[in-house]
Amino acid sequence: MLFFLISVIYKKFQLGCVMSHNKTALEGEDPLDLSIQGLNSSCVAQMFTVDSQMSYTVPIMAFAFVCHPEVLPIYTELCRPSQHRMQAVANVSIGAMFFMYGLTATFGYLTFYSSVEAEMLHMYSQEDLLILCVRLAVLLAVTLTVPVVLFPIRRALQQLLFPSKAFSWPRHVAIALILLVLVNVLVICVPTIRDIFGVIGSTSAPSLIFILPSIFYLRIVPSEVQPLFSWPKIQALCFGTLGVLFMAISLGFMFANWATVRAAVPRPSCLVCGGGCLRRGTAEAAEWSTFPSPHDFELGSWPYTQPQAHGMRGRPALGSALPSPVLTASS
């Protein structure tokens, strides 16, 4: 994460302001020169932006700070485990991640402004050596983090499905493989990681942060010690209710956003494959055409262009002649 942060800050000062609607793409000029010279009048930061994408904000932030499944494994590994030492570990970890997350988001936004995408690494050039190193570092970090996250999931499944059976290596490996296959299928099928973070942040994050701790407290503390309507239990009940409301509202807004985007996407009578459309006419001709993706409609600015030199996948510029949407190959 630290390498990622340093790279984003460096790229901000190297690229300057990258235009979302770059006129130089029409004139054949180098967009990097224009952006570094600071001639882009559209590079104005907005403190708040109210749109349909706000439904992802709080769930993703909640997901980013969910570390509850790892608390007990880390606690058992402490030299002298105690509540005070574990609280210190949590404070330092969450504080450091909050600082790095905040700086990364700030400098990423100040680089691309309203053109920033859900996956920021896709905005940079695919041939940039520094960005390639960052992608490799992120890949290694995520790969090495999987066992830490997989450990509590696998242990919970074994205790839930096989509570009375002894440890078995085949079952241990099988559960891990099934989980990894399901995760990979999900990653391949879902178009952006933002949707995954949004759904998980709207379901598991409220459960781990609000709902389950409240239920545990209400169930574990006996009524003889604290009555049901005592102030601590009322606070726990309100805390859990807040989590349920947060989950319902977040999921509702996200589903509404998906329905709106899906309704805005044209429905071509063709076979969609790889972002293209394959049609077969009566003359046995194969025609390939392209059409905007749902993400283009989410941005509300299709067609638009982004500097190809920075890896911003070259979409047509506003006001420019679109490329021919159909390429016919007669048999």
pLDDT tens digits, 13-40: 888 776 544 433 334 444 444 333 443 4
Residue 26 confidence (pLDDT): 34
Q: Which residues pair with 289 in a beta bridge?
A: 277
Q: What's the mean per-residue pLDDT of the chain?
A: 74
Position 309 in a domain: yes
293 lies in some domain? yes
Alpha carbon distance 4, 133 (integer Å): 9
pLDDT at 224: 83
Question: Would you say residue 109 lies in a domain?
Answer: no
CB 121 within 8 A of CB 141: no
- pLDDT value at residue 65: 82
pTM above 0.85, yes or no: no
> Reading across the β-sheet that carries 327-329, which strands appear in turn?
271-273, 276-280, 286-290, 327-329
Residue 16 counted as domain residue: no
pLDDT of residue 275: 44
- Whether residue 191 is contained in a domain is answered as no
Cα 220 versus chain centre, distance:
35
State the DSSP code for 176. H
- Any domain includes 52: no
The parts of the chain modelled with pLDDT lower than 50 are: 20-41, 268-331
> What residues contact residue 254 under an 8 Å CB cut-off, 6+ apart?
55, 56, 59, 195, 198, 199, 202
Instruction: Tell me the residue range of the domain where 295 lies.
Output: 271-329
Kindly state whether residue 215 falls inside one of the protein's structural domains: no
Q: Which residues contact 302 (CB under 8 A, 6 or more apart)?
A: 292, 296, 315
pLDDT at 99: 92
* pLDDT tens sequence across 179-233: 989 988 988 888 777 888 888 888 888 898 889 989 999 999 888 888 888 888 9
Beta bridge partners of 279: 287
CB 19 within 8 A of CB 31: yes
Q: What is the pLDDT of residue 23?
A: 37
Using alpha carbons only, give the angle 3, 122, 265 rounded to the nearest 5 degrees. Answer: 150
Helix (H, G, I), strand (E, B) or coil at 278: strand
Number of domains in the chain: 1
Report pLDDT for 44. Answer: 79
Work out the number of other CB atoms within 10 angstroms of the CB of residue 292.
16
- As a whole number of angstroms, the distance between CA 141 and CA 315 comes to 32
Give the whole-angstrom CA distance, residue 256 versus residue 239.
26
**Terminal Cα distance for the chain, rounded:** 53
